Amino acid sequence: MHGRLPDNTPMQLQASRFESLGPAFYTRLGPTALPEPSWVDTSAASAQALGLPDGWDSDPAVLHALTGSALAPGSSPLASVYSGHQFGHWAGQLGDGRALLLGDRAAPTGLFEVQLKGAGLTPYSRMGDGRAVLRSSIREFLCSEAMHALGIPTTRALCVTGSPAPVRREEVETAAVVTRWAPSFIRFGHFEHFSHHGLHAELRQLADFVIDHFYPECRSPEVLEQHGGNPYAAFLAAVTQRTARLLAQWQAVGFCHGVMNTDNMSILGLTIDYGPFQFLDAYDPAHICNHSDTGGRYAFGRQPNVAYWNLFCLGQALLPLIPDQQLALDALEPYKADFPTAYLQAMNAKLGLEAMQPGDETLLENLLRLLAADRVDHTIFWRRLSQHAPGLLSHPETPAGPVRDLFIQRDGFDTWARAWAERHQKEAAPDSAATQARMLATNPSVVLRNHLGEIAIREARAGRYGSVGSLRSALERPYHAHDDPAQPTRLGAMALSDFPPDWAAHIEISCSS
């Protein structure tokens, strides 16, 4: 590894707040250099949010810093330790096996941790090599920024850098590094680690750190009164609420995480660790996006219950700080109401409905049953429903063909469309044009489907990175009319809003991705 870069290098950092927790929480070490680094793609939106100056990515020193060949000014790199449950079983000590926290970046909206993913071996790499491959790095980069544009809480990604260095997975691939950032990368598994090992002083120190920096409201008299005066029970309740809202957004947009282990759950309620993820093509609650998930634990429809199970594990980890177990159970209980409420609100928004009314849940359940039975394309259905809402709502007796034609059970859809039109008339000020505008701003025309990512990856493997940038640009505007029949947005010959090609069904994404 080269030395530290000059102080005038655009990527200025400072020692992270996490470092103040002390050496029990991490190992200090530097990244391992990759040869012949090159830019794959950068996110201007991400750079702006971090307060980076124009032209930051034209500085070769930054390229070296974000590939692990040198240290940006102020960097104090470290890898954190955590444990966790993987596929429902206690896995013991884990940790940042291929990620390094470089430090904090002081941005216009606050302090953000900056990490390199794929920066080399750490003490927590276990049987791994500490590297990331180009394919998985492109997927994480694109999806991080796509989820942000969709309004879903997520870690962000600044760039992908590549190298010809070989990395062996199922086959030999080339190495890459993702620079990602977030207010914090602390996970449920950090708390499990110290609780499991009986390190209760460190557990309290960690909980106090997270409360002080990210959940200060948990120490307010009003909130403490609701949780028996215990700030850690209040903290558990706050994490529960954020997680419930996050899962509602995942389910509404058709996002499958693929590996919801407790070490992949953000304590801030962010989407974190993009591995074998997928956005649904056909709507199918039983869909399994992770080829490694042979038991279907993380199937799309099971995600909300898995999140609650993971929260229960977090609650168990916090019990040394919450002597009254009932307080912990009470902190978790609202999930059972918070998730379905947030989910119904999100789905009502997709249907163009504002205030929730009795019967809305039945209306939604009937629709989802039809979508699942006919395996209707999730994104295309919601977008077409938005586009044809005025006609469907004004003349439900003659449903619009482009929506109706998505179904095999067309009579079933006709019945549902009439019920939707009747429900719309119960709105305070029913207006089909206003409904359409709301729906078009809620139902994206493009998401990061597996086949779109695969096209960009194939191009990048051939040394053509332009498709990665083109796809990122489109994903940054998910509600734009990319599906305009007169001028659809394309990735090569493929229109971004088209049905997936037949070969998309054979793409396998696993935990090694």
So which residues are the catalytic ones?
263
Alpha helices in 260-359 (DSSP H): 303-318, 325-332, 335-350
Helix (H) or strand (E) holding 493, with range, is: none
Which tokens in the block code for residue 400? Answer: 């619009």
Strands (E), 399-491: 490-491
Contact 467/456 with Cβ under 8 angstroms? yes
Distance CA 46, CA 145 (A): 8
**DSSP 8-state class, residue 293:** -
Nearest to 453 by CA among 263, 213, 276: 276
Beta partners for residue 114, in sequence order: 103, 181
194: Cβ contacts below 8 Å, ≥ 6 apart: 200, 202, 203, 206, 317
Nearest to 416 by CA among 377, 380, 381: 381
Distance CA 187, CA 238 (A): 14
Strand, helix or coil for residue 285: coil
HSE at residue 300, side-chain half, CA atoms within 13 A, is 23
Long-range contacts of 360-369 (CB under 8 A, 24+ apart): 360/423, 363/416, 363/419, 363/420, 363/423, 366/416, 366/419, 367/416, 367/420, 368/283, 368/285
CA distances from 279 to 256, 269, 377, 476 (A): 6, 19, 11, 16
The number of angstroms, rounded, from the C-alpha of 241 to the middle of its chain's C-alpha atoms is 17
